[in-house]
A = this chain, B = another copy of it.
Amino acid sequence: MPDPTAPVLDHVAADAQSAMARWFDWLRIPSVSAQPEHAGDCRRAAEWARLQLAAMGFEAELCDTPGHPVVIAHHPGPNAGAGAHLLYYGHYDVQPAEPLELWTSPPFEPVLVDHKLGPRVVARGAVDDKGQVMLWLEALRAWIAVHGAPPVRVTVLIEGEEEVSSPNLDAVLISRRGAFAGADGVVISDTNMWDRGTPAITTRLRGIAYTELRLHAASRDLHSGLFGGSALNAANLLTSILGGLHDEAGRVAVPGFYEGASEPSAAERADWVALGFDEAAFLGAIGLSHPAGERDRSALERLWGRPTADVNGVWGGYAGPGAKTIIPAEAGVKVSFRLVPGQDPEAVVAAWRGFVNARLPPDARAEISTFGTAPGIAIPPDLPLVRAAQSALQGEFGRPAVLIGSGGSIPVVESLRRLLGLDTLLLGFGLDDDQVHSPDEKFDVSCFRHGIRAHARLLGELAG
């Protein structure tokens, strides 16, 4: 029997220009989930995906939520609903593009740019996650074009609130569990390759606990001359509390923070060392030369295997030009914690709350709220879906895929395991220099092409 994947790869090659045009169409829709004025754009981006899937023969619908809609689609595969069943997850929403003045070209007008490392497409969402969703959408399209159907049953789930911590996704997973729970596993492309030539499967994700603290002191802003030395200053208090967030060794100093945190296994540590990570280049690309964080850990441990605390934003008092001599009555901070498997996100929030409350003088009041929590995840490397992906990547790149971690969080992976009992293959084609969440986000065209082909091969590996 001839290899069914070969003509699919030929079709992908012949259809490359059209695939890029479709990708650009989607990128032009500014589906910024965090900004209420883009709610209509989010729905347009969802509807765009639904129409693509419907045209490919999927039964496709928009599922409304209290936030942005979710795209759900199903294809019965070659055997009228029997055989293996894959669930593909992605998100059509993107991060805010601000600050706009730092973009070389408008964030929602994708452009193909020449670069010494090869051509790339620059736009908000180029890679995260519209570009990576396009990889498996185009692979499925090619299978259907050549063979009339994908080689397995396929369910698609594309949400629009990943960048705002997926507040409504769990409810959809529960209310529509019948559509998802029968799947054999999940495929997500929202992670990175190891480098331009080395494919990777991500088997470790950090979790997150994102918090906001608002401190209140006096009943109004005060004159710093007439009241200074006597009146409680909310900004002094805030920075005093935050000043104790890390110890001298770079560890998070919140008591109980490391409770339950798992250490990377000896095998993982060995794998990570073998990767020969070029920390100097990694830091050099962002204008840095010395690692921050825990002093007694290797570079990849700090990024993949250890929890962190970062101030994402801080504010209080007068931030305009020149001098204003006030004692601020209020100040606030966003602090997010990245977590490793074994840490309980709710316990971390409680520990942070306790840390703050223990440092409040009598006249201060603290409000702490959270914006999404998820535990860290470790994916078993012997999962059949991981094995199949390793074969597909070996075929596409001519070299073995490496098993890596990611410092980021994909909370849906935890939800899929907790609510539906499903394990996830994290098969991503981004690169470290993609400027995800930053101005001039980009996706290399070679990554886009390899990604479509690798997804087409993965489907071939899974063909019954």
Contacts and interface: CB of A to CB of B under 8 A. Distances in A.
A322 B233 contact: no
A76 interface: no
Interface in A208-250: 208, 210, 217-233, 235-236, 238-246
Given A317-B314, A325-B336, A292 B230 contact: yes
Interface string A280-310: 0011001111111110000100110011111
A206 interface: yes
A21 B435 CA distance: 62
B290 A319 contact: no
A164 B322 contact: yes
Contacts of A217: 287-288
A232 B371 CA distance: 23
Copies in the complex: 2
Interface stretch (A6-14, A47-55, A151-159, A406-414): A406-414
Contact of A245 (B236, B319, B437): B236
Interface stretch (A110-118, A327-335, A350-358, A447-455): A327-335
Interface residues of A, number: 96
Given A287-B218, A323-B164, A242 B245 contact: no
A438 interface: yes
B246 A240 contact: yes
Most buried by B among A102, A242, A279, A311: A311
Given A220-B287, A223-B438, 9 more contacts: A34-B324, A217-B287, A218-B286, A228-B310, A231-B291, A238-B239, A313-B318, A314-B317, A317-B334
Interface of A: 34, 95-96, 102, 164-165, 206, 208, 210, 217-233, 235-236, 238-246, 279, 282-283, 286-294, 299, 302-303, 306-328, 331-334, 336, 338, 361-363, 371-372, 406-409, 432, 435-439
